[in-house]
Amino acid sequence: MTTFPRRVLLAAILALSSAHAAAAETYRARYDASLLGLPVGRAFFETRFDGQAFAIAASFASAGIARIFERTDGTVEVSGTMGEEMSRPELYALEYSEGKKRQATTIRFRDGTVTETRNEPPPKKRGEDWVPLAPEHLTGVADPISALLLPVSTDAEVCNRTVRIYDGEIRADIVLQPAPEESFRSAAVTCRARFVPVSGYRKTRSSIIFLRDRARIFVGFAPVAGRNLYSPVEATIATKVGTVHIRARPM
């Protein structure tokens, strides 16, 4: 797992563990991540809807063999409202530990624009191969969790879109396209997803290059009952060390 950028994997697991809510206002779900058939992570999510407002609280941890080599535990909270074309987060707060290392990220948004980012501890000094964030990169974006909550009403509207994600460091586009050759049993529609790094990364990092140029990523979406909203329920992400599979299970 050390050859794969841990922050990207964490962001991916969180992004693909978005709320798959039922008709009830509050819904709880568990998400399991496996690599080569072995468990590597799990997350527990509680999502609350109040009209167009949403609040998500989750805890997550590494699992199985991944916990032996990289013990990871954390929590994340997101709140905001659903817009006509994308989610509109207001606050994203992530805290996690990897062994003795502790990291906290807080992002504040207003109308799809990042107004504040706070990382503790602060990022280290960047090298010449670092692609810096620009102001235009932080508009029309959402956090890794709410970004893939899609305010659409039919299967045909899910794919053929670009989702702009910011996790406090990496700014990336997730380009969704129909994937008729793939199908997840739990999903109404499956999209192929292309990872396009924009800024906040080392351009020479081999794992980022692999994700951009060679990785096969598929995401399955299902409708949220009673709402014009689709959310991810299953995904596969090819990495340099194997394919990560993420699947939702209601609790």
- Pick the closest to residue 72 from 100, 45, 94 (CA basis): 100
Q: Per-residue pLDDT tens for 221-246?
A: 998 877 888 988 999 988 878 888 99
Q: Which two tokens stand for residue 30?
A: 């568990």
Most confident of the ranges 92-96, 182-186, 241-245: 92-96
Whether the pLDDT of residue 40 is over 50: the answer is yes
Whether the pLDDT of residue 184 is over 60: the answer is yes
| 73 lies in some domain | yes
**Domain interval for residue 43:** 6-250
pLDDT attached to residue 18: 52
DSSP 22-70: -SSSEEEEEEEEEETTEEEEEEEEEEEEETTEEEEEEEEEE-HHHHHH-
| 1 lies in some domain | no
**Residue 1 per-residue DSSP state:** -
Count the domains in the chain: 1
- Percent of the chain surpassing pLDDT 90: 53
| 118 lies in some domain | yes
Question: Cβ neighbours of residue 201 under 8 Å, at least 6 residues apart?
Answer: 130, 131, 169, 170, 208
Whether the pLDDT of residue 189 is over 70: the answer is yes
| 27 lies in some domain | yes
pLDDT attached to residue 3: 37
Residue 89 C-alpha from the chain's centroid: 13
Outline where DSSP puts E strands in 153-229: 161-166, 171-178, 189-199, 201-202, 217-223
Q: Is the peptide bond before 121 cis (omega within 30 degrees of 0)?
A: yes
**Residue whose entry in the numeric block shows the structure tokens 């329920």:** 233
Say how far apart CA 164 and CA 46 lie, in whole Å: 24
